[in-house]
Structure 1
């Protein structure tokens, strides 16, 4: 985001005036559009409100903007030519369409992080730079000649990457598959998007976990799907109500994250795995298994995938490199029956003609290299250390104010607050104190839960971040 240059000889209010005039001239704020309020713009630019008032005064004097009491400040309809012209109602377009925006809490978190990058981030579900294999990937890129061809590749994905994934899935996830049953995507979310858009229809009912990461994704509502929830406790998702849901609502598909579930961090118990698979077989229901965290088990255990014991071909399996290597590679994959892979590859080709070949080449080399296992060992050790720092901070700062179960893998800590605090008030107070988290209601839970993601924050910031959260919580606690 643009900021005024405080070292410049030009006064700050004049810099703001010039910047806004340029944005208006370029059509970013068309005639008649509403500008941010003086207070909000001052917060965004990190200046006093009086400075923005001066800038607005200059623009009003030039006839570029108009202010009316109770209606805010708008770009003038008449400045841009002698005759007023009709301008598209961009606000209506922005609010239209069938694809819904992110939930308000997530938009607020993103806005806060953009405005103040120094916020301690317990919200972003990604690895910090020091957890990613940057040196290993740099070494591979020096050793190998990439991108001998920069045209479109197979819409299913780069063949050597799919071959590498066949070996990876067999070794690490117990899944036996072939290259023709793998679709490369730009991450788990694109896999979910393709499934919801292409394999389901508006009005279809699907079962998700409660709470669930899926609940935070507007793509389900955008696709017109009806969501029915199965509760998650310390043994993972409980499938007991699945038959009743199917009978009452004709469930078409089940979405689950069985290993170190997001947001709770729980692992689906063996007995419940068996019940879930048996119910799916009896009802003829496909299961979408989202499995981003299994290899982060802090004890180095191999948590079995549902797909590895899928004897009837009922499971679509989704994985990615985002939580075990680097989200910026944008490499994910889906294992499904060949007919499904071909259908979704065709749809994805209509969207983007396939992914860039360069990150696919890098990913193929990395998965097959001698660097991969040592990286996983180091990642588990560092995540365990960050988790323990978070627990230590919670015990120190909030000994009687939170309840949680300690996760044995993954990157999330799910906490219940005592007493319950209104989500919106707590998030705003936390932002004022310099820290962000995700309120539990984003994932469909009741108010009074929070998700702390400890992989993104720097090690030295975890303790201070929880201290800031504790101050915010105490501010709102009677």
Structure 2
């Protein structure tokens, strides 16, 4: 958030007035837009209320804003000397469009992350910088000659990367794939977007786990797709629920996250994998298997993906380097039948003509490198340490107030609050104390659950953050 410069010779009230006028002129605040109250803006900018009062008075004197008792302060709909100029009503535009905005909870969390305030971030499901292979990447950039052309690349993905992915998937996930059966995407989310836009139609019914990360993605609702939940128990999804939903709603696709499911951390049992695949093969329903967390396994041999059992081309397999290397590389992939890939490649080319060659080149080197296995080992050890640190802090500070199962992989703890709480109040109380987390209702669960990520914050901040979360929870319960 913008803040006035206290070292400037320009008075603070004048800086604030100029900043607001600039935003209005640029169309960021269209005619009729509501301005914050004087008290609220003063708190946001860290100035006295009298400073904001003076800034608003200057803007009112210029005919830029109007204030009405009981109705607040708004941008005027016509400005003196500028009646012939009409600023577009951007509010009408941003409320339109086909892609829906993110959920209010997620927008609130994003505002906190982007505010520059020193929040302890348990909301962001990505790796901390020190968990990424940054030093190895720097060495590659310094020592490996880059000779690739800088024109538009293959929209299906950089061929050496697809070859490296085929070897990687066979070695680490027991999936047989060729470079022709792999599409490189900008992370797992682009794979999901392509599927919803190209393989499904408005009104189609799909089954997703409940709770599920997919509930937080407006792309499904934007595409007009009807979502039906599959209950997640300790063994994952029950295949009989898929049969029931097919009979009732003729579902056309099943979306699953079998290993360390986001947000619950559940692992789909080996028997249910086979049963779900057999069920979907019988019904002719594709399975979209999203598998970002398998290589974060800490304490067990992770079950092989459903795709490794697939002999009929039923499974579209999605993976990513975001949770095991670096989210900023934006490298994901999909393994799919050739006819599906051709459709998605065509759509992908219409969108962006393919990914930048640089991250694909780096990813190809990483997957072929002897440094990959040591990196994965260090990552798992670091995640285990962080998970245990968070779990111990929760048990010590909130033993009677919260319960959870210790996940054997992934980046998150899924916690049930053993008291009646309001999600928004809890989130607001966390904001006040400088800690961010995701309420479970974002993922489709009932109120009283939270997802806490131990992968993003610094190690020394985890216990401090849990202390702040504990204070926020106690205040919420008390009220």
Partner-residue secondary structure (3-state), 2:27 = coil
Q: How does 1:76-475 map to 2 (within 5 A)?
A: 76-79=76-79, 81-146=81-146, 148-299=148-299, 301-475=301-475
Query: How many pairs align?
Result: 478
Q: Whole-Å Cα distance in 1 between the matches of residues 375 and 82 of structure 2?
A: 65
The 1-side partners of 2:123 and 2:303 are apart by 26
Contact 1:147 1:358 in 2 (8 A): no
Compute the displacement of 1:84 (Å): 4.1
Structure 1 alignment gaps of length 5 or more = none
Check the 8 A contact 2:319/2:334 in 1, yes or no: yes
Q: Tell me, yes or no, if the aligned pair for 2:207 and 2:253 is still in contact at 8 Å.
A: yes
SS in 2 for 1:221: helix
The Cα shift of 1:78 comes to: 3.1
Shift of 1:335: 0.5
Distance 2:335 2:106 in 1: 30
CA distance in 1, matches of 2:45, 2:363: 39
Out of 48-57 and 192-201, give the one that drifted further: 48-57
TM-score (norm 2): 0.97
**TM-score, scaled to structure 1:** 0.97
**Compared CA separation, residues 422 and 153, structure 1 to 2 (3 A):** same
**2:477 aligned partner:** 477
Give CA-to-partner distance per residue, 1:361-415, whole Å, 9 cap, x none. Answer: 1111111111111110110000000000001100111011111110000001001
**Distance in 2 of aligned mates of 1:413 and 1:459:** 15
Aligned-partner Cα distance in 2 for 1:39–1:262:
40
Is the deviation greater in 468-477 or in 379-388? Answer: 468-477
In structure 2, the gaps of 5 or more residues are: none
Give the whole-Å Cα distance in 2 for the aligned partners of 1:7 and 1:98. Answer: 45
Residue-by-residue CA offset, 1:155-180 (whole Å, 9 max, x unaligned): 10111111110111111111111111
34-43 or 181-190, which moves further after superposition? 34-43
Q: Is the 8 A contact 2:30 2:89 kept in 1?
A: no
- Partner residue of 2:36? 36
Please give the root-mean-square deviation of Cα atoms over the aligned residues, in Å: 1.5
Structure 1 Cα separation of the partners of residues 67 and 245 of structure 2: 55
**Maintained 8 Å contact 1:315/1:336:** yes
Cα 1:117–1:146 change in 2 (3 A) is farther
Q: Contact 2:30–2:91 (CA<8 Å) still a contact in 1?
A: no
1:341 aligned counterpart, secondary structure: helix
Q: For the structure 1 residues 82 and 414, does the alpha-carbon distance in structure 2 shift closer, same or farther, using more than 3 Å as the test?
A: closer
Check conservation: 1:133, 1:325, Cα contact below 8 A.
Answer: yes
Check conservation: 1:210, 1:443, Cα contact below 8 A: yes
CA distance in 1, matches of 2:117, 2:182: 38
Per-residue CA deviation, residues 170-221 of structure 1 (Å, 9 max, x unaligned), is 1111111111111111011110000001100011000000100011111111
In 2, the alpha carbon distance for the partners of 1:237 and 1:51 equals 58
Report the more deviating stretch, 304-313 or 73-82: 73-82
